């Protein structure tokens, strides 16, 4: 297997103030763990390019793109909300995050890579078409999936979201879209307090209470995700890979461990191999306990790279 690993130094420069959990140390911890686990040499390093405005407009309104661009400060910070702040590097970092996801889709569709992981920040799945929120500015996964449909002509794309928080922005981008099936689980009730009421027919939402274990998550995926995935027969899988449902992560209260992320990835690999020529693009979302995040990413990558 050839697994791409997309990142860029610009993604280290975005920061939202002292002690913010969504910090550059997340990427640094992942890099350290790749070396400790001795898997860094099995990955093909790729530089995340800058997304174009046309890429962003696949999902976001022009007014939203203009708002983020125009409010990027030359120095200091600009607060979009209580959790989501820009510094002078945020604009370029956000373009790298979205651009890496688009480039990964292109590389996987060309056959240059079997699959890819985008180790970029800021994350994206809370960003709605007209609003930045929840540490997110542009919805990287939604942009990647729309790119696959509109520019590569795919008719069946699956978006998987296993972050502890509901991907409200991604759901808003794809509600009732016949070309996209979205499968997610998330802690509920919990930020952003959405996803549990009247999901669209193309949404398989699994709201779960705090302290749900990995075994319970596996059972729900086996019963509720996998039949729909087999019926849908996706041509590409795009993953919002959040690792904050780990039992050591204080931003959530779920009970997953590395073995659960490996199992989930394995199930998705089986679907991809059967229907999508193995094509998967995975993008980092949450995960704020640095050790748990790094170990979980390694578990995810071991399965993607078949090592």
Q: Would you please indicate which residues are annotated as catalytic (active-site) residues?
A: 126
Q: Which long-range contacts (CB under 8 A, 24 or more apart) does 53-59 make?
A: 55/98, 55/99, 55/102, 55/143, 55/147, 56/98, 56/138, 56/143, 58/142, 58/143, 58/146, 58/147, 58/150, 59/129, 59/138, 59/139, 59/142, 59/143, 59/146, 59/173
Q: How far apart are CA 280 and CA 101, in angstroms?
A: 11
Residue keyed to tokens 């996706």? 234
Of 143, 151, 141, 154, the residue nearest 233 (C-alpha): 154
Query: How is 225-285 classified by DSSP, letter by letter?
Result: IHHHHHHH--SEEEEEE--TTBTT-TT---BB-HHHHHHHHHHHHHHHHHHSTT-EEEEE-
Q: How far apart are CA 185 and CA 170, in angstroms?
A: 13
Q: Helix, strand, or coil here: 146?
A: helix
Q: Which residues contact 151 (CB under 8 A, 6 or more apart)?
A: none
Q: Give the H or E element holding residue 298.
A: helix 290-305
Whether the CB-CB separation of 48 and 57 falls below 8 Å is answered with no
């Amino acid at each position: 297997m050839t697994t791409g690993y997309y990142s860029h130094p610009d993604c280290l420069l975005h920061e939202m103030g002292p002690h913010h959990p969504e910090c550059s140390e997340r990427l640094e911890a992942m890099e350290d763990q790749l070396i400790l686990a001795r898997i860094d040499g099995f990955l093909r390093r790729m530089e995340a390019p800058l997304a174009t405005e046309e890429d962003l407009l696949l999902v976001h309104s022009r007014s939203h793109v203009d708002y983020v661009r125009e409010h990027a400060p030359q120095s200091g910070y600009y607060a979009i909300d209580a959790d989501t702040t820009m510094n002078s590097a945020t604009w370029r970092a956000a373009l790298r995050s979205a651009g890496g996801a688009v480039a990964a889709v292109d590389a996987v569709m060309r056959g240059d890579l079997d699959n890819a992981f985008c180790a970029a920040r800021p994350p994206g799945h809370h960003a709605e078409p007209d609003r930045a929120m929840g540490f997110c500015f542009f919805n990287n996964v939604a942009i990647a999936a729309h790119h696959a449909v509109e520019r590569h002509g795919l008719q069946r794309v699956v978006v998987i979201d296993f972050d502890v928080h509901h991907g409200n922005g991604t759901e808003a981008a794809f509600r009732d879209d016949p070309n996209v099936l979205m499968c997610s689980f998330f802690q509920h009730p919990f930020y952003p307090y959405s996803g549990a009421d009247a999901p669209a027919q193309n949404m398989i939402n699994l709201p779960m209470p705090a302290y749900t274990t990995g075994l319970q998550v596996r059972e729900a995926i086996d019963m509720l995700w996998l039949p729909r995935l087999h019926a849908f027969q996706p041509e590409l899988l795009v993953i919002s890979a959040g690792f904050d449902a780990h039992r050591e992560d204080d931003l959530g209260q779920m009970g997953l461990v590395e073995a659960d992320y490996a199992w989930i990835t394995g199930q998705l690999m089986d679907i991809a191999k059967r229907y999508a020529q193995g094509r998967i693009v995975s993008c980092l979302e949450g995960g704020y306990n640095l050790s748990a995040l790094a170990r979980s990413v390694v578990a995810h990558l071991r399965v993607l790279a078949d090592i």
